[in-house]
Structures are given as C-alpha cells and as structure tokens.
Chain A
Amino acid sequence: MRHPTPKATRHVNQNEGLIFEKSSPGKAAWKLPPLDVPEIDTKALLGSCERKDLGHMPEVSEIEIIRHFTRLSTWNYAIDLGMYPLGSCTMKYNPRVNEAAARVEGIANAHPYQPERISQGALRIIKTLSEFLIEITGLDAITLQPAAGAHGELTGLLLIRAHHQAEGKPRKKILIPDSAHGTNPATAAMVGYAVENLKSDSRGTVDIAALESQMNENVAALMLTNPNTLGVFEQEIHSIADILHAKGGLLYMDGANMNALVGKVRPGDFGVDLMHLNLHKTFSTPHGGGGPGSGPVAVRKMLEPFLPKPVVVTKPDGTLAFDYDRPKSVGRVRAFYGNFGMFVRALAYIQANGPDGLRQTTEDAVLNANYIRKGLEGSYDLPYSTPTMHEVVFSDKLQTKKGVRTTDIAKRLIDYGFHPYTMAFPLIVPGALMIEPTESESKEEMDLFVEAMKSIAAEVEEDPQTVLEAPHCTRVSRLDETAAARNPVLRWKPKV
C-alpha cells in the first residue's frame, strides 16, 4: 500500500460532540438589558397559549459556542483551503469586500417595508445590478426576485406560460436535453408542464434532427444549458433558436455555466429569449455550505410585462420606486424583493472587475479547464472530444477495468488535499468526472491537481485497494449512506 495520505495532512483537531451533549442547566451565553417598560403577567396576556417549556434547547456558555462551531468548521473543506473543482458549481473565490459591503449598517439593517424615500440606496443597488446584468446577458429586462437557480427556472417557466397564454395558445411540453441538470425537469413539473427528453448527438450537443422532429406547436420552450454540462458550447445555437422560434417556442437558457461566457459572448445575441443567472456561481457570492443563492431572470422585451412584481422604476423626479401596478405580472415568487444581500455582493464583484476584469476572468476560467484537459488526456477517458469551455468531463472507463469508479477516484482525491470534482454527472456520460477549476486557480495549484489525478490513475493500476478504501486522512471514513436512509435519524434525542 502506498502512503495513505500523499498530500493532505492532519492537524490538531479535537473531537466535538453535539451541542446538546454539552448543555447543562444554569449555563448561558446571553444577557438582556433591563426592561424599560412595566413587567407583564404572561398568563394574563397569553392565557392557555402561554408556552411553559422549551424542551431540550441547549444551555451553554459563549466560549463553548465559539469552540463548538470553530471545531466543526475545521472539519469542512472550503474554497479558502484549496481547489474545489465541482463541475457546473463554479466554486470561485468569494471576495471579502463583498461581505464588508453587505454589512454596512444602513444596508444590513434596512427593513423591506421602510418608506421609499429612505430606501433610495437599496433601490439604487437593485437598479444598478439589474442594468449591469442586462448588459452582460444582452437581454432587455430582468427580475432579481428568485432566491436561487431553480427558483429562477420556476420564474422563467411561469413567464413562458404567461407568454403563450397571452398569445391564446397555452402549450403543454418543455423539451429538456438528456444532459440537463435535475432541476430543469423538476421545475417543468412544478409549473405543470410535461417533460420531453431531447437526446444529445455524438458531439454531446443538441441533436438538431431530433429537435426538428420533436418541435411542434405543443412545445412551449427548450431549456438549454449553454455551454452544456459537458462544458461544450452549442455551436448550432442559432439553428436551435430558429427551429424553436419558427414554431412559436421559446429558448430558455439555464445560466449555470455563464462563467464561460461573461464579457465574451451574450446569450441575447445568440437567440436566447430568457435565462436565469446564478449569482452564487458566476458572480462570486459565497455558497455557504449550500446557500443562499440568487437566481435573477433576464428576458427579452416581449416578456417584460409578465415579470414578477414589484419592479423598480424611476419616477419623474428622478427618485426610484417600486411599481406594483403590473396587471400582466405572473405574480410574486417570493416575499419582499429576493435575496437582496446577494445583490450587494454580486454588484461589488462586478465593480471590482470592470469590463476588462470580467473578460479576463472568463478567459482564465476557460484556459484553466483546457489546461486540465490537456494534462489529464491519456490518464482518463475523454468521452467527447468536442472543444472544452470552462469545464471538462472525463469518464472512469479506464479505471473500471480495475473495479475503481468515479466515486472512488473522487474520495482518493481528498487524500491529496483537493475537493472532488462532480461525480457521476452529466447522466449521458457513464461514470463521469466533471471538472470545473474556475479562474481562481493558479498554475501551481492546477499542476498539483493534475499530478494528483495522474498519481491516482497510477495507483488504480498498481494498488486499487488504496483507492477503493479512500479517503484515509479524513476525520471520518466513508459513511454508511444506506443505513442513514433506511433508518433515518434526523435529530438528536436525549438518552432515556
């Protein structure tokens, strides 16, 4: 067996139980100021609605809380620790000035219902970001209300439905390529559409002949990720748009992979009718262990009347206001105005970059993916030789001969100090290794990554067992997911 931890090292890291296991009566981490109004008789005010007991809520001191969460944090991998090459997730650097901007007092503490005359700063932030994103996408109007990418998809499909209804021809189907993210079909179902699968051709892109034969007056739209989940730009994008438009369908673009395009090409210029962006991918807002995100939807002029309400407008006196009088609007998709704090961060990111920075960012992201592709060709099977944009997809075909699968390679990569790539996706590639380095990686970090992946490929040949049993250097070894699902334990309970 090779050295079990070739690159990653352990550091002093105490075990930490659940917070409930540290709790004991009388400990506290809070102190309220004295009450400046008369004491109340809770019973008299609430009667039978009064709560007597808060169950097993913890009682701990402040230092214990600091240590608890700090220790827990050290069990996480993070962008701040190293390369996080999850395909289609765009795990780029999260600039800290974004966090500072979001915490400026009058921004962090603004109430969503405070009068518009004392909300001009917040409205200006919404308006400015909207204008920048419209310019970046090449479309005409935008809503920032959706809280995440999938929520943006939902909003987009509601807009598509409203458009067809206004034309008097509600349609029933959405076409979705077999390489699409799971959110696409799930969203279509939520908006009451039937999902029709569209197969990919030998290049991994939309099969034009299939699209032509499947397109008819019952198809509302095609949901297309471009570049697609193989990291391949749909070169026939214009034909795709033409085929849809000829029969009254719309082209929806899933903007998950927009990091390959910003400043180089605009979806509005290649026939897209509407799209969502992921501010938590392309525009650097932190993933935070799974969220929050933000999923603005940009649209062509004809869809603008249907956008969720309210929208920000400029009044004759030059001040900004919310317009709620939108009779054709699809309605609200979220209370208030969306994940505003993410708008602040995305805007700060765009300001820091400027036009040249955004273009360089895209170029570096694509350069990095191609550098990794070149570095790993030969060591891993490349199922599609089509040119790579910002991410590259390999398969575990060569390694399965030794019984090693994409999951095992991913787990072994952890021992080399890297977060794994996206495993087993897209579904059109059996045993996929989907790698998106983003622009945030230096040449040195990528050389280490390529070296690690090659070393694992060699291990698979010489000593597959080491790979199959990985990771070897983590706090816990592979966890029993089957048992977790079979007998779900979803909360802590006191021992009886």
Chain B
Amino acid sequence: MRYLPKSPADREAMLKAIGLRSVDDLFAAIPPEYRLNRDLDIPRQMAESEIVDWFRQRSRENGDGYTSFLGAGAYLHYRPVIVDSLISRGEFLTAYTPYQAEISQGTLQAIFEFQTMICELTGMEVANASMYDGSTAAAEAVMMAVRLTGRRSVAVVRSLHPEYLEVLATYATHQGMPLSLVQFRDDGRVDLKKLESLVSPETACVLIQSPNFFGTVEDVDAIAQIAHKHGAMLVVSIAEAVSLGIVEPPRRADIIAMEAQSFGVPLGFGGPYCGVIATREKNVRQMPGRLAGQTVDKQGKRGFVLTLATREQHIRREKATSNICTNQALVALMVNIFMTVYGKVGLKELAKQNLAKAAYAASTFAKHGEILFGAAPRFNEFVVRTSEDPKAINGRLLGHKIVGGLPLAKFYPELGNAALWCCTEMTTRSAIDTAAGLIAESERSVRSAKEELEEFAR
C-alpha cells in the first residue's frame, strides 16, 4: 500500500523486537469470535489515476459548466487563486489544533487576525475561531443567549434560512427552549407588531437574519429596541458575508452568528463551510468554541495561544459552554486570506457589484414576473413570483445550461409560485437576459393559454 512506509523486513524486525511471532498476536486482545476473517466487501485498491478518473466522472454527472442563480445560504463568488495556494501548504493543511503554542504560531496568529477582521466587519468586540457552519452557529448563539439571560424562550423570524430554523429546532428540543415564530410583512421584513407581542420577560433572545432568507435587509435597530426593551438579547444571523461590504452591520446586536462561506470557500455541495460567532466582550465567557489570544513568551516576545479554555469541553466536560471540539480551522483560513485580499476597499467594491447585478436582474425580471418584497432594501437576492410553477421554468432554463432560482414552495407554500434568485459578481448580464427571456416566454404562454380558455368559455 503506497501510503505505508514499511518494508516486509521492517515489519519482521519490529515484531521480533516486540517479542511476537505474528501480526495476529498483536490482536490477541480481541476475542476471536469478533475478528473479521474475510476481506471487507469494498473494491480493490485503485491507482491514483483511477481515483482521479472516478471523481472526474462524478463531476460530469454533476452538471459541470452550468451558470447558476442559486444562493439561499451558499454563494458562488470568485475565489482568488492564492487562497488554495496558501491553504495547500502542508504546514497549515496537516497541522493539528494549535494546543502546542510554541510550534503552532502560524495557525494561532492567523486565527487572531481572523478574529480581528470578523470584529471589524461585524462591529462586534470579540469573535471566535469558527463554528461548523451558519446553521449550527445560530443554534449555539441562541443557547449562549439562554445562558447569558437565564431565560429560556426564543422568538425566531420565519425569514431565517429554513434549514437554520430546522437545526435550531433540533438543538432546542431537548434543552426545554420553546420557540415562537414571527411572521414577515409584505415588504419581507419582520412584522414588528407581531414581534412585540411575542417578546416577554421569559424571552432569552430574538433571532433574525439580515439580509434575511429573501435577501431583504432588516431594520435591525427597530428590532434591537424591541428585544432590549424586554431584557432579551438580539441574535443576528448573517448568511451572505459579502453583504458586510456595503450593508451596515447589525451593530446593536448582542450576538452575531455568521456563515462566512462567501469569503473564498467553494460551494462544495454544501460544505465544509465556516460558521463564526461574534459578540460583546462582556459575553465572552459564555461563548462556545476556540479563541486565540495574544500574550508574551519568557523573553517578553509577542506570541499567541488558545485561551479561555475553561469554557471548553476538554476542561469543563458536562459544564462546558458547548461540546464543540474540532471546528473549521482550514476553512476559516480560506476566509481569512479572502478578507485580506479584498480588504477595506475591495470588499466594498465587490459588494457593490453584487448589489448592481441583483438590481439589474430584479428590474429586468420585474418587466415579466412579480418581484415580492420590493419595498425594503435588499442585497444580492430577490424573490420572483411567476404565473407558472418555477420548477417548469427552471426545467427549460437547464436546457440553456442555466440553473434558475430556488423554488420556495417547499419552505413557504403561502408565497405560491415564488423563487429565490441570487446574483453575484459572477453572474453575467447575458445569463440574466436569457433567464428574463424565458420568464417572459412563460408569462406569455400562460397568458395566451388563459386567453384561449376564456375564448373557449365564451
């Protein structure tokens, strides 16, 4: 086996040194009745070239080469080449969690810079080293608010990513955390009156997403005011990190739970991604996940260590703030490099291009279909309602090698034939025009079918 660095003679010599006769003696501790006396039923060893071919074949079955209007928590942004060049360095790729600080300064300093940039972008004071993804970060942020307030109930908006909501529901079930759902208004924003009526002295936090699942930017200050008036915390989930380049961050939030996939992380069929939690300094001791902190060595030289570990499972066991151990470190490094590449000016320009493409697409689509939630500001996603089922339109778009917007009926049946469309800096005008053309065609054919039917009825 090509990964194993021993010759048969080495193995013989080692067995001899141990004082054993055969390899079987090494497994003597396992009762014989449980030992597997056959080969595992998996294919024979494959050559490297065969493995690459196998995955290329899967890639072809996977619709390689399509233009996509899908967003909904997973965004296609350009990934600068140096992201992969740098994260492929074995010293980053094949290192463990930086518990041995003296030989992990590279990872530790990178985490420290990551934490700093997340703070700058979110307007928070501290950020952790990463969580699994945006969905689990949101659930953990809510549990953090429960610990901080000593209250248990949670008000969640329906415009939170529906799968984040499902994850939260799973986590909340056995924690005795009742969830109440807050409806959105006709402009896609949170219904503040309904929110006000649901927030009580038992409410630990209000959980919103901004930009929300429909791409709409929430009035965070108004929501914060309602939450804070009742002593509840405001937790804001951010699924599209690029929005932070041009949309004011939720500075009045108490905890931000982010998905940073947009920052240089491949779509990869949904993972690995990069969750992050950011908050105020005073809340840090209830924060889940790893934190890097600055300190000095014996000579007074600046260095970094993992710190405040008494929050964590390996020290505190069942009293820990979370069970999280392995996080998304290498993905956080991708995010870190991406943020460094675009920086202060680039992130803003990048976000502006996203805004412009989505604005153009929405105005073009509006000529044929109905744009929902148009009255409130939005970032790079918008909802289009068509007369025809969007799945049918999408089926025709596939013929043009275009993947249309996400049909919303599964998550929001009340919105009818609505689909969530996303444009990023990668979306071309010609793809937008092609999609708009097919929507126009669909509307025309529905209209003429309707007219025919009406004529027939007459």
Contact A183 B323 (CB under 8 A): yes
Add 6 more A-B contacts to A288-B87, A419-B96 (CB < 8 A). A32-B349, A76-B103, A91-B94, A287-B95, A342-B271, A488-B284
Contact B267 A147 (CB under 8 A): no
CA distance A375 to B17 in the complex (A): 9
CA distance A435 to B207 in the complex (A): 44
- A357 partner residues in chain B, CB cutoff 8 A: 1, 3-4, 45
CB of A403 closer than 8 Å to a CB of B:
no
- Quick one: given A89-B96, A476-B297, are A97 and B40 in contact (CB under 8 Å)? no
Contact B93 A192 (CB under 8 A): no
Q: Interface-forming stretch among A61-69, A208-216, A244-252, A394-402?
A: A61-69
Contact A114 B63 (CB under 8 A): yes
CB of B385 closer than 8 Å to a CB of A:
no
- Quick one: given A287-B96, A477-B298, are A190 and B322 in contact (CB under 8 Å)? yes
Contact B271 A185 (CB under 8 A): no
CA distance A340 to B357 in the complex (A): 29
Contact B268 A30 (CB under 8 A): no
Please count the residue pairs between chain A and chain B whose beta carbons lie under 8 angstroms apart in the complex: 678
How close is A477's CB to chain B, nearest CB, in angstroms? 4
- Mark interface residues in B437-458 (1 if CB within 8 Å of A CB, else 0): 0000000000000000000000
Contact A232 B136 (CB under 8 A): no
CA distance A490 to B108 in the complex (A): 11
- B344 partner residues in chain A, CB cutoff 8 A: 23, 54-59
Contact B247 A335 (CB under 8 A): no
Contact A484 B3 (CB under 8 A): no
Contact B62 A54 (CB under 8 A): no
CB of B134 closer than 8 Å to a CB of A:
yes
Contact B322 A50 (CB under 8 A): no
Q: List 28 A-B contacts (CB under 8 A).
A: A28-B343, A29-B346, A30-B341, A40-B356, A54-B245, A59-B345, A65-B340, A84-B96, A103-B266, A106-B65, A109-B76, A135-B40, A150-B325, A158-B174, A182-B316, A192-B176, A238-B34, A265-B35, A280-B326, A290-B97, A292-B329, A308-B170, A334-B167, A340-B271, A367-B15, A374-B19, A387-B28, A478-B297
Partner of B92, one of A28, A289, A387: A289
- Quick one: given A105-B59, A477-B298, A489-B293, are A29 and B95 in contact (CB under 8 Å)? no
| A48-100 with Cβ < 8 A to chain B | 48-51, 54-60, 62, 65-66, 68-81, 84, 86, 89, 91, 93-95, 97, 99-100
How close is A433's CB to chain B, nearest CB, in angstroms? 14
- Quick one: given A28-B346, A158-B174, are A114 and B403 in contact (CB under 8 Å)? yes
Partner of B269, one of A237, A340, A425: A340
Partner of B126, one of A73, A99, A191, A490: A490
- A37 partner residues in chain B, CB cutoff 8 A: 356-357, 359-360, 429, 432
CA distance A39 to B133 in the complex (A): 33
Closest to A492 in B: B116
- Mark interface residues in A287-317 (1 if CB within 8 Å of B CB, else 0): 1111111100000000000001000000000
Q: Interface-forming stretch among B6-14, B150-158, B180-188, B198-206?
A: B6-14
- Quick one: given A54-B344, A484-B307, are A290 and B327 in contact (CB under 8 Å)? yes
- Quick one: given A30-B346, A40-B355, are A107 and B268 in contact (CB under 8 Å)? yes
- Mark interface residues in A313-345 (1 if CB within 8 Å of B CB, else 0): 000000000000000001111111111111010
- Quick one: given A74-B106, A107-B58, A293-B326, are A182 and B91 in contact (CB under 8 Å)? no
Contact B58 A66 (CB under 8 A): no
CB of B54 closer than 8 Å to a CB of A:
yes
CA distance A283 to B13 in the complex (A): 27
CA distance A479 to B300 in the complex (A): 9
Interface residues contributed by chain A, number (CB under 8 Å):
197
Closest to B74 in A: A112
Q: Which of B61, B134, B244 has the most CB of A within 10 A?
A: B61
CA distance A77 to B104 in the complex (A): 6
Pairs A-B, 6 closest by C-beta atoms: A288-B330, A118-B63, A336-B270, A80-B90, A106-B59, A106-B64
- B86 partner residues in chain A, CB cutoff 8 A: 65-66, 69-70, 73
| B1-44 with Cβ < 8 A to chain A | 1-6, 10-11, 13-15, 17-20, 23, 26-31, 34-36, 39-44
Contact A351 B352 (CB under 8 A): no
How close is B385's CB to chain A, nearest CB, in angstroms? 18
Q: Interface-forming stretch among B224-232, B331-339, B365-373?
A: B331-339
How close is B165's CB to chain A, nearest CB, in angstroms? 9
How close is A25's CB to chain B, nearest CB, in angstroms? 8
Interface residues contributed by chain B, number (CB under 8 Å):
195
CA distance A257 to B1 in the complex (A): 21
How close is A152's CB to chain B, nearest CB, in angstroms? 10
Contact B269 A484 (CB under 8 A): no
| A200-243 with Cβ < 8 A to chain B | 232-233, 235, 237-238
Partner of A99, one of B88, B121, B314, B360: B88
- Quick one: given A45-B355, A107-B55, A290-B107, are A149 and B48 in contact (CB under 8 Å)? no
CB of A167 closer than 8 Å to a CB of B:
no
| B44-82 with Cβ < 8 A to chain A | 44-46, 48, 50-52, 54-66, 68, 70, 72-74, 76, 80, 82
- A439 partner residues in chain B, CB cutoff 8 A: 3-4
CB of B290 closer than 8 Å to a CB of A:
yes
- B434 partner residues in chain A, CB cutoff 8 A: none
Contact A366 B27 (CB under 8 A): yes
- Mark interface residues in B207-222 (1 if CB within 8 Å of A CB, else 0): 0000000000100000
How close is A319's CB to chain B, nearest CB, in angstroms? 10
- A233 partner residues in chain B, CB cutoff 8 A: 29-30
- Mark interface residues in B146-175 (1 if CB within 8 Å of A CB, else 0): 000000000000000101101101110111
CB of B262 closer than 8 Å to a CB of A:
no
Partner of B175, one of A97, A190, A287: A190
Partner of B30, one of A38, A86, A182, A265: A265
Closest to A269 in B: B34
- Quick one: given A147-B132, A352-B51, are A191 and B272 in contact (CB under 8 Å)? no
Contact B58 A19 (CB under 8 A): no
Contact A183 B35 (CB under 8 A): no
CB of B197 closer than 8 Å to a CB of A:
no
- Quick one: given A59-B345, A182-B315, are A76 and B92 in contact (CB under 8 Å)? yes
- A442 partner residues in chain B, CB cutoff 8 A: 5-6, 10
Contact B347 A289 (CB under 8 A): no
CB of A441 closer than 8 Å to a CB of B:
yes
CB of A405 closer than 8 Å to a CB of B:
no
- Quick one: given A264-B36, A266-B36, A484-B307, are A352 and B3 in contact (CB under 8 Å)? yes
- A420 partner residues in chain B, CB cutoff 8 A: 100
Contact B170 A332 (CB under 8 A): yes
- A120 partner residues in chain B, CB cutoff 8 A: 61-62
CA distance A468 to B432 in the complex (A): 66
- Mark interface residues in A404-442 (1 if CB within 8 Å of B CB, else 0): 000000110010000110000100000000000001111
